[in-house]
Amino acid sequence: MSSCKFFFRRSALFVLCALAIFPVAGRASAACWVPSIEEQRTGDGVPSSAPELRPLREALQRIDGMAKTSPHLNGLPDTRMRNHLSYANGVPRYVYINIKAYAPNTWGPGECDLIPQADRIGAGGGLHVAINFVENALPERLAGDGELPMYGEPKVAGHIGRFPVYGAEPVHRRWGDRIVLTSDGRLPWEPVTVADYLDWQAREIAKRQSAVEEAASNEPTIDGAAWREGYQAIKKADPAAAEELRKTMEALERDLPKMQSEHAARAAQASEGVNADLARLQAYRASLPPAQLAAQAKLGAGEYQLARGDEAVIRPLVKASTQFGWDRRDPARIQLIVISWIHNQPHMEAGLRRAFETLDYERLHALLR
């Protein structure tokens, strides 16, 4: 950041100060690196320095160093960079590093610092490297529930060296591509079958059935003893209010049979509708041959949003692989690395893309065991 130099000649003083305040078009400061942040414990309280996390921690530290030597990250204009190393829990151990690029609205007053609320404001973009986390390899969720999240099948958009590049989803245009590295070449996702998809539809109907049954059980009632007790309590202090209460509650008691009847009719209608939906789903499923039930589900414009055979635009569905061979005896074994990038600031897009394209993926692949 420039500063004014004071000279006796007023014109020189003015010119140099103007350069400090108004940057010359086409010139911008290169990126600088704010010290990295490393979480000290995992989500379940294990210190990040624990021997069991050593392979993962060393991998993150190596990636941290790789990022800081990237000429494309170092060349980002008007950017301050900071890496965030995080450790999760579970089997396998899931860790990641966010390589964040911050725009000037998050900068602190120093030569290379950030304001405390920089992450609440948000970075302007960056790279994300996740280790051992399958969901990070998948694009946005398109369907499903907690039991079976379903995603659009990643599509190969090209290659960087020998590694496939999976293209960005059009609904997330600020997200760039991603590369998925695995220790044995297996992809961490598998097809969702039509049977899987219809099982999810059945669970959705079951949820509606439960909601209908709960609503039906909430029949309108009036606690006559309670309101009469209240009536007697306020009768002496406020006769007019007590009388108004009595009239209102007696009118409601007269209308109660009608309200209960209407409630029962609405509940019966709702139950009939849900049961009809379930019968329709069961009939549709029964109409499909075993081979079609075992085929990959594809979103489209057909029954239950499944694609018809004549559709040109379809979305094949996948789920996180149940066959991916996580090593439970060695939770810190690195079996999956996912690299992706995102940008929120137009002036960062080209540099972040080039940083992603020029990472040393052979060196990253060598971290897998």
Can you say how many angstroms the Cα of residue 58 is from the centroid of all Cα atoms in its chain? 27
* Partners of 137 in the β-ladder: none
186-222 pLDDT, tens digit each:
899 999 999 999 999 999 999 999 999 999 999 999 9
Q: β-pairing, 298-299 with 315-320?
A: antiparallel
**Residue 231 and residue 227: Cα distance in Å, rounded?**
6
pLDDT at 10 over 70: no
Predicted confidence at residue 22, as pLDDT, reads 29
Report whether 99 contacts 131 (CB < 8 A).
no
Predicted confidence at residue 325, as pLDDT, reads 66
pLDDT at 44 over 90: no
Predicted confidence at residue 140, as pLDDT, reads 79
Confidence of residue 185 (pLDDT cuts 50, 70, 90): confident
Predicted confidence at residue 161, as pLDDT, reads 94
| ∠ Cα 168 171 172 (to 5°) | 55
pLDDT-above-70 percentage for the chain: 90
pLDDT at 314 over 60: yes
pLDDT at 170 over 60: no
Mean pLDDT, the chain, whole residue set: 87
pLDDT-above-90 percentage for the chain: 73
Q: In terms of pLDDT, which residue wins out, 135 or 72?
A: 72
pLDDT at 264 over 60: yes
Out of 24-28, 108-112, 260-264, pick the least confident. 24-28
153-168 pLDDT, tens digit each:
999 999 999 999 998 7
Provide the whole-model pTM.
Answer: 0.77
**Cα four-point dihedral sign 25, 69, 336, 334:** negative
**Residue 180 and residue 134: Cα distance in Å, rounded?**
10
Provide the H-helix boundaries in the chain.
10-21, 54-68, 71-74, 118-121, 194-217, 224-235, 239-286, 290-294, 346-357, 361-365
Q: Radius of gyration of the chain from Cα atoms?
A: 31
Predicted confidence at residue 20, as pLDDT, reads 32
Q: Long-range contact list for 175-179, CB < 8 A, 24+ apart?
A: 175/340, 175/341, 175/342, 176/340, 176/341, 176/342, 176/343, 176/352, 176/353, 176/356, 177/340, 177/341, 177/356, 178/137, 178/154, 178/338, 178/339, 178/340, 178/341, 179/338, 179/339, 179/340, 179/361
Structure-token pair, residue 321: 């692989």
Report whether 216 contacts 260 (CB < 8 A).
no
Mean pLDDT, residues 102-108: 95
Closest by Cα among 119, 102, 98, 113 to 34:
113
Predicted confidence at residue 153, as pLDDT, reads 92
Predicted confidence at residue 18, as pLDDT, reads 30
**Residue 361 and residue 369: Cα distance in Å, rounded?**
15
Mean pLDDT, residues 271-294: 96
Task: Count CA atoms closer than 13 A to 122's CA, side-chain side.
Answer: 6
